[in-house]
Every structure is written in structure tokens, then in C-alpha cells.
């Protein structure tokens, strides 16, 4: 069992789950930040790794066309995919 800075033990099951590899079936939009003139988005790739992107970046064969207050537009093979922030 690991301990955090405060000395609280982390249960072994929590440690195992927190370090598992994640396989997703698609790209997921996690967050949008930055300024209106220079927005950036945080996405999670299907392999589980995260990536920060800006307008014009290329990911998985597509180009980030726009980043709005709650969405990202990805253009791939002539089609546009709108990814929205999850509502909670």
C-alpha cells in the first residue's frame, strides 16, 4: 500500500485501477481552456493518453478546425465531427 503526503494509505485496489491502461473506441473531449483568441482543448486518445490541441493541429488523420466554449470541430475525410463537452 502506498501512502499519500498526509500519511493516508491508498488501498491496493485503488492503486491497481488508477494505473490500468485504458482503451477507448474513439477520441474524447475532456476540457477546453485558454483565451477566446487562442483556445486549446484537452483530448483523450483511444490508447488512453491525453493531448493538448489547438486549431490547425492534426490528430488521427483529421484537422482541428474550431474550438468553441463547449465543443471542438474535427474535419476528417471531408466530414466534420463535432465533439461536445460532457454535461454533468
pTM confidence score: 0.69
Spell out the domains of the chain, with CATH numbers in brackets.
22-84 (2.30.30.830)
Quote the CA–CA distance of 62 and 75 in Å, as a whole number.
5
pLDDT digits (tens, 9 = 90+) for 28-61: 999 999 998 999 999 998 888 899 999 999 998 8
Please state the separation of Cα 37 from the chain's center in Å. Answer: 21
pLDDT digits (tens, 9 = 90+) for 12-23: 776 765 655 555
Tell me what pLDDT residue 3 has: 45
Lowest mean per-residue pLDDT among 2-6, 9-13, 46-50: 2-6
Quote the CA–CA distance of 12 and 25 in Å, as a whole number.
28
What is the secondary structure of 6-60 as a DSSP string? TSPEEPHHHHHHHT-----SS-EEEEEEE-SSSEEEEEE-TTS-EEEEETT-EET
Quote the CA–CA distance of 10 and 13 in Å, as a whole number.
8
Tell me what pLDDT residue 18 has: 60
Tell me what pLDDT residue 4 has: 44
Amino acid at each position: 500500500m502506498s501512502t499519500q503526503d498526509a500519511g493516508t494509505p491508498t488501498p491496493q485496489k485503488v492503486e491497481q485501477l488508477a494505473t490500468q491502461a485504458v482503451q477507448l473506441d474513439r477520441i474524447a473531449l475532456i476540457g477546453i481552456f485558454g483565451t477566446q483568441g487562442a483556445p486549446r482543448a484537452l483530448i483523450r486518445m483511444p490508447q488512453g493518453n491525453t493531448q493538448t490541441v489547438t486549431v490547425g493541429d492534426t490528430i488521427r488523420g483529421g484537422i482541428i478546425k474550431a474550438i468553441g466554449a463547449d465543443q471542438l470541430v474535427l474535419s476528417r475525410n471531408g466530414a466534420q465531427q463535432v465533439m461536445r463537452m460532457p454535461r454533468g
